[in-house]
Amino acid sequence: MPAYLLRAAATLLAALILTAGVWASWGTARHVMVPEDGQQRGMLSLARCGGDECTGPYAPASGGRPRDRVVIDKSVATHKGERIPVVVKPDSDEAVRTGGPGFLHAWLPLGGSLLLAAVVVAGGLRLNRVAAVLALAGGIQLTAAFAALTL
């Protein structure tokens, strides 16, 4: 197979990996970054955690109704009894953490895709500096998300 076809395939694969990372991140990140009609921002008091999710009462920041039970992913929750800023997805009881930790957590799939694309760029395209930049960006994003959620 000609070398230019292999390079084209590697380029296409790297682009596909990065696109998939953005696509997977955007489902959560859009609620954190872009205010929409029907979204409610407020505070969630963590009452109970089990399995993959935590629940608790929700108090809106302004206008809106308080809720007795809102669900949030356990990976962004802190300790039972703490209050965290959230946005409730429209027409649901599912919350997404806001602020810096929520923003970084929302973009975790992109951080992973940056690391994976770095391997493809280094191995398939032989662009080691570009691969190093991709890997560094992905590593920084993943580390920052971990630090923001655990500290």
Greatest alpha-carbon pair distance for the chain in Å reads 63
Query: pLDDT: is 58 or 150 the higher one?
Result: 58
- Domain edges within the chain: 3-150
Do strands 67-73 and 53-60 pair parallel, antiparallel, or not at all (unpaired)? antiparallel
Cβ(7)–Cβ(124) below 8 Å: yes
Q: Residue 117: its pLDDT value, please?
A: 98
Mean pLDDT of the chain: 92
Q: How far apart are CA 91 and CA 46, in angstroms?
A: 21
Model pLDDT for residues 36-67, shown as the tens digit of each residue: 777 889 999 999 988 889 999 999 988 778 99
Q: Residue 90: its pLDDT value, please?
A: 84
Q: How many helices (H) and strands (E) does the chain have?
A: 4, 6
Residue 85 backbone dihedrals phi, psi, to 5 degrees: -75, 135
Tell me what percent of the residues of the chain surpass a pLDDT of 70.
100
Mean pLDDT within 99-112: 95
How many CB atoms sit inside 10 A of residue 10's CB? 18
